[in-house]
Structure 1
Amino acid sequence: MWKWLVLGCWIALQTMCMSHVTFTNLKCHSYNVKYSIFPTCQIKAVNRSHKYLNINVKLFKLPINDVWLKVKFMRFDNGYKPVFFDLSYDACKFLKDNNNPLARLFYNTFRNSSNMNHSCPYNHDILVDKLWTGNLEKGFATYVPIRNGDFAIFTEWITNKVPRSSVKIYFRISEK
């Protein structure tokens, strides 16, 4: 019996590690254009199967000392519905301590493509430059068992206890 269980886990592990991620849509929205705007919010195609994201956030009220981030992982099933967990954390505290394992997994997918690599205060615009789909394949698709389908990551950025902007990343996970 245990041999079948080991075989089943091995097959499941192989399909999880062989997932392919493709960005399908990106939506950036600023709730207050006097606070921030998105000059760049786009998906660029490298080829048919690989795409990358570019996001540029122009901030008008600097410095930023208090940032909270809400992250929702959604799956499309007759509309986008929560599938995994909701994550809400103090981004400034996380960037200083880096002690939340789920937040670290999410952060590591875009850390090398962004200038959000230091703790608060932020005295500059925020850039995510060429966030490639391979980063998600190495991050979530390898360590978190996610089946094939259409997914989204909804983020809401809050400063001084006021929601300021949202970024919604839509993507598809399929077998290679």
Structure 2
Amino acid sequence: MRFPVISVLLAGALMAAFGDIRTRQTNIKCVTRDPSYAKALVCRLNVLGRGIIGANVHVKLLKLPVRKVSINFSIFQKLSGYHPFLFNVTADLCHYMKHPNPLNVFYYFYGAMLPFINVNHTCPINHDVILKDFVLDDQMFAKVPLPKGSYMFEIKIISEGVWRGTIYSYLDINVDDNPRIKSG
């Protein structure tokens, strides 16, 4: 358990050496595997202001209550196609909500979404899942080692032991930077 903490801290120190981090969400897609269980009513990015993009997801759960939920969270880097990169973590959301663990990398990502999502309580879940105007915090990536490039976050939702759907979130980190151009 000590290795993930050390790797996150070391990676954070490496990112501090890279300098200022700027992120931009570029796309979001929601795929439901079982339309009788859940429907994605909203899955889009909205421009909230100049250079501020917010993600909005509204998933209508059709079979309530949901008592067991696991989240598989993976990061892929775009090279020649998307390739696995750095994290592939599965967390039991119901257990995590009762016992949050800051030593788990999922803690940082869920903590960033917490002010924007209505799943902020322990199981069972008896309502739709809504993520509203989620804006990536550039400072979040000071703790997580993602060098310049394009990335895909793949979030698989497993409920009652069955894979129910996937959310694909695409983002760029410092892609528009050009070291030869200085703002003056």
Same-fold call, TM cutoff 0.5: yes
Counterpart pick for 1:130 among 129, 133, 140:
133
Q: Is 2:120 the partner of 1:149?
A: no
Change over 3 Å in CA distance of 1:12–1:138 after alignment to 2: closer
Change over 3 Å in CA distance of 1:108–1:172 after alignment to 2: same
Unpaired stretches in structure 2, ≥5 consecutive residues: 1-11, 179-184
Q: Return the letter of the residue paired with 1:25.
A: N
Contact 2:94 2:123 in 1 (8 A): yes
In the TM superposition, what whole-angstrom CA distance separates every residue of 1:115-163 from its partner, at most 9, and x where no partner exists? Answer: 0100100000000000012x2x121x11122211100100110111110
Q: TM-score, normalised by structure 1?
A: 0.87
Deviation for aligned residue 1:47: 3.9
What is the distance in 1 between the residues matched to 2:115 and 2:127?
A: 17
Deviation for aligned residue 1:35: 0.4
Change over 3 Å in CA distance of 1:57–1:11 after alignment to 2: closer
Instruction: Tell me the C-alpha RMSD between the 2 structures.
Output: 2.0
Pick which of 100-109 and 25-34 moved more: 100-109
Deviation for aligned residue 1:173: 0.3
Contact 2:154 2:168 in 1 (8 A): yes
Stretches of 4+ aligned residues off by more than 6 angstroms: none
Change over 3 Å in CA distance of 1:147–1:60 after alignment to 2: same
SS in structure 1 at match of 2:63? coil
Q: TM-score, normalised by structure 2?
A: 0.83
SS in structure 2 at match of 1:109? helix
- The corresponding residue for 1:92 is 94
- The corresponding residue for 1:26 is 28
Q: 1:87-126 residue pairs with structure 2 within 5 A? A: 87-99=89-101, 100-126=103-129
What is the distance in 2 between the residues matched to 1:73 and 1:66?
A: 23
- The percentage of aligned residue pairs carrying the same residue is 25
Q: Return the letter of the residue paired with 2:116.
A: S
- The corresponding residue for 2:6 is none
